[in-house]
Amino acid sequence: MRAPSARGGWTVSRKRIVVLGGGTGGTMVANRLRRHFDGDEAEIHVVDRDDAHVYQPGLLFVPFGLAEADEIVRSRHRQLRGNITFHENEVMEVWIERNEVLLDDGTVLPYDVLVVASGARLQPEETEGLAGPGWNERVFTFYTPDSAVALQAALERFDHGRLVVNLVDMPIKCPVAPLEFAFLADWYLRERGIRDRVDLVYSTPLDGAFTKPVASEQLAGLLGEKEIELVTEFNAGEVDGVGGKLASYDGRELDFDLLVTVPLHGGAAYVERSPGLGDALGFVPTDKHTLQTPTNANVFALGDATDLPISKAGSVTHFEAEVLVENVVRHLAEQELVAGYDGHANCFIETGFHKALLIDFNYDTEPLPGRFPTSLGPLPLLRESHLNHLGKLLFQTVYWRALLPGREIPGLGTTMPTAGKRLAHTP
C-alpha cells in the first residue's frame, strides 16, 4: 500500500482497522491481521469495555465445582500480539456514514475497515420478574462468572426438590449448553446420592430437545435415559423468584425450588445506539458467506454479534475469522471477496460420567452420526464417548495457545468435512 508521492519519493498510506470486541472473534481477527500486515501497512485497534477475557465454555463446569471462575479468565490485552493498540473503553456509538467510532472518553477512532466482534449480551431484565427478587438466590444463570459461582453455592445447599432448567428464547450462545447443564446436574446429584429426591426438568421454547431433527431425537433419548423431564414449546413469560413459579405466555406454570435460566440475548448496547448498524435485537445483519455487512462494504462482523442462522459458538467464530480476515485483506486490495464460509460449526456436548458427544454441521447439513474428521475417526459423532470428553477438556489449552494467537490447527478446517459422516441421514 505504498504510493509514489508528488515529490517522487514513497509515502505510506497506512490503513486503520478497528476491531470492536476483544473476545474470541476480535482477538483472533486482530492477531491474524497483524500477522498479515506490517506495521507500516496497517494499524490495528481493539476496543473492549473491560480487560477480562472469559473462556466461556468453562462456565458450564463452575456450578459443579469442576472449574474455578478465576482459572477461566485471562487478560484480554495479553492475548493480543505486539503492535496492536488495546482501548479499554465502552463504545458509545458507531457513526457508520462517517467511518468513525466514538468511545466513552470522547476519543474518536476513524477507520478504513471496521470489524464488529462484540458478541451477545444477556438481557434478564426483558423477562418479567426474572432479574427481580430471588435472582442469585433461587434463580441463577451459569452464563456469567458471578452467577455461576453463586449457583455453585446454591447447588451445594440443595438436597431435594424441583430443579428446573429453562432457556427463555433463541438465539442463545452455545445452544447445547443448557442441555449439558441438565446432564451434568443429573450426574452431580447421583454422585451426591440424592438424585431420587430431585425432580429434574428441562423446559425449552423449541418443539424438541434441540433445533436439528437427528440430534434432537438423540438428545431427547439421553434426557429420557437420565430421567430428566422434557417440557417443549414453553415460552417463558414471567418468573416469580420468591414463590418459585415460572409461567409461560400461554398460561402454563412450572414450580421450582431452583431455576437455572438462560436469559434472552441481544447484541451489544452500542449496536442499538448506532443507526444503520443492527437489527431489532441488536445483532448485525451480515452476509452468510463473506461476513461483510450488506449496507457497508468496509464493515464486517463475526461471532455472536451477527444475525447469521447458525449457532452462536466459539467454533463458528473460529471458522468465520479465517474467511473474514481473508476478505478484509481483499477489500483493502480492492479485490473480489470470497464467499468462503459454509456455516461450519462443531461442539462437544458434555453428558456427564466423563463422557461427551461431538456434533459437526453447517448451513446445509444437520449434525449426523459418523466419525470426525474422517471415517477413521478418531472422534465418534453424535455418540457418547470418553475420547470426546477428553477432547473438550483439552480444548481449553488449544484455545489460549493456538486459536487466539491465530495459529492453524491440524484437522480443524474452515469448511465442514463430509468424509466421516453418514450422509444417508440427510432428509
Partner 1 sequence: MTTTLIADRPVEVDAEGFLTHTDDWDEELAAAIARDSGIAELTPRHWLVVDFMRDRYLATGTAPSIRALGKESGVPVKELYQLFPKGPAKLAAKIGGIPKPRGCI
Note the residues at the interface with partner 1 (CB under 8 A): 169-171, 175, 206, 211-212, 233, 235, 237, 249-250, 264, 279-281, 309-311
CB of 311 to partner 1, least distance (A): 5
- Whichever of 50 and 279 has its CB closer to partner 1, that residue is 279
- Whichever of 73 and 206 has its CB closer to partner 1, that residue is 206
DSSP codes of every residue in 277-344: T--TTSPBP--TTT-B-SS-TTEEE-GGGB--SS-BSHHHHHHHHHHHHHHHHHHHTT-PPP------
Task: Using alpha carbons, select from 285, 391, 300, 409 the residue that is nearest to residue 348.
Answer: 391
Q: Residue 245: beta bridge partners?
A: 240, 255
- Whichever of 22 and 282 has its CB closer to partner 1, that residue is 282
Q: Residue 173: beta bridge partners?
A: 312
CB of 171 to partner 1, least distance (A): 5
The H-assigned helical ranges of 53-167 are 145-157
- Whichever of 31 and 127 has its CB closer to partner 1, that residue is 127
- Whichever of 144 and 216 has its CB closer to partner 1, that residue is 216
Cell of 239: 418468573
**How many Å apart are CA 257 and CA 22, to the nearest integer?**
37
| 87: phi then psi, degrees, rounded to nearest 5 | -110, 115
CB of 315 to partner 1, least distance (A): 13
Q: How far is CA 146 from CA 63, 68, 99, 136, 200, in A?
A: 10, 11, 36, 9, 23
Q: Helix, strand, or coil here: 70?
A: helix
- Whichever of 282 and 406 has its CB closer to partner 1, that residue is 282
User: Other CB atoms closer than 10 Å to residue 45's CB: what's the count?
Assistant: 17
- Whichever of 25 and 406 has its CB closer to partner 1, that residue is 25
CB of 318 to partner 1, least distance (A): 16
CB of 306 to partner 1, least distance (A): 12
Q: How far is CA 22 from CA 38, 84, 109, 123, 204, in A?
A: 21, 11, 16, 20, 31
CB of 209 to partner 1, least distance (A): 13
Strand 229-231 versus strand 236-240 pairing type: unpaired
Q: How far is CA 25 from CA 41, 93, 388, 414, in A?
A: 22, 20, 24, 14
CB of 317 to partner 1, least distance (A): 14
**Cβ atoms of 355 and 387 closer than 8 Å:** no
CB of 211 to partner 1, least distance (A): 5
CB of 310 to partner 1, least distance (A): 5
Q: Helix, strand, or coil here: 75?
A: strand
**How many Å apart are CA 360 and CA 52, to the nearest integer?**
29
CB of 108 to partner 1, least distance (A): 30
CB of 309 to partner 1, least distance (A): 6
- Whichever of 152 and 311 has its CB closer to partner 1, that residue is 311
Cis amide prior to 427 (ω within 30 degrees):
no
Strand 2-4 versus strand 100-103 pairing type: unpaired
Q: Helix, strand, or coil here: 372?
A: strand
